[in-house]
Amino acid sequence: ELAEGVGYLGKKYGVEDWAAEVKGLEIPMHDARGFASLACAYATHPRGACHLPHQIYLIEMGKVIKEYNIASDDRFSNEGKGELTAKVQNFTELYNAVIMCAFMPVNPTQLADMLKYTTGFDYDVQKIFVIGERIFTLKRLYNIKCGITSKDDRLPKVVLQPLEGGSEKHVPDVEKQVKEYYEFRKWVNGVPSKEKLSELGLEWAE
């Protein structure tokens, strides 16, 4: 039974609120109570609570991606974290697409230049951003076909309890962040809108 994961055990024994997982993937050590935007990142990622693709916690610690106006001046604030999450996801989707280590300190300008010089195609920072968004949206559409809905874009109660110490009393507002995230992505109740699919050339995937 343990091999089925925390989510399975939580449902079987009626303790889902205390199963530290999202979409079946256990939550790692990076805590959304210390970096608010991780709440939205964990809730909305196709795999669930995966810190690896996002670099969100690095943004909350002061990293800036100037090409996309990505920055955070308050790691505990919920303001703007839905949009922030979506932007970071769009960029970091490219890491897997080009088979690059998630911890490479590469900015969008450098990545666009790398692609341009190795492929001969005219990539720029905006083009790779849209490519990342297209990949991420396709993953969302696949998840929807697998039965995953907006109800799965949440965090369990166990990681929404205030802690004592450094991040005391700071609990992320997941619903607020996800609502802003959907609006920024033009997703209706978690489903990519026809307008967005048309914009990305993904009408065929609906």
Q: What is the CATH number of the domain that holds 156?
A: 1.10.599.10
Mean pLDDT of 70-94: 95
3-state secondary structure of 21: strand
Helix H or strand E encompassing 22: strand 21-22
Q: Which domain holds residue 75?
A: 2-205
Indicate the angle between helix axes 125-145 and 108-119, nearest 10 degrees. Answer: 90
One-character DSSP codes across 48-74: SS--TTT-HHHHHTT--BGGGTB--S-
Dihedral sign of CA atoms 22, 50, 43, 28 in order: positive
Report d(CA 181, CA 137) in Å as an integer.
Answer: 13
Express each pLDDT in 142-168 by its tens digit: 999 999 999 999 999 999 999 888 777
Mean pLDDT of 191-198: 98
Number of domain units in the chain: 1
